[in-house]
Amino acid sequence: MGETSYVKIACPSCSEHLEFPMEMRGHVINCPHCSLSLVLELPGMQPQTPPPANLYERLRALNNIAGPAQPSPEEARPNS
């Protein structure tokens, strides 16, 4: 019987370590520490951009959607 090889990576959001068998490579999971969805890949194959700092920005990045338009203070004032 062959031995299972395991890979240890750091979550791109919380930097906690995750360990998974090579057979799981390419699967999408939720980090057990911060719940961010991530693709299990080898350490050298992970995206090089740092994750957004706050939850709203992380969700926007995950969903690839534009945030709600916020009017500037001048636009928010009613005309007199």
Mean confidence (pLDDT) of the chain: 75
Residue 8 β-bridge partners: 19
Average pLDDT over residues 3-18: 89
pTM of the model as a whole: 0.49
Phi, psi of 16 (to 5 degrees): -70, 150
Residue 11 has pLDDT above 80, yes or no: yes
Find where tokens 């090579």 sit: 22
Could you tell me which residue, 74 or 9, shows the higher pLDDT? 9
Give me 52's structure tokens: 């957004």
Coil, strand, or helix at residue 20? strand
Residue 1 has pLDDT above 80, yes or no: no
- Confidence bin at 68 (pLDDT 50/70/90): low
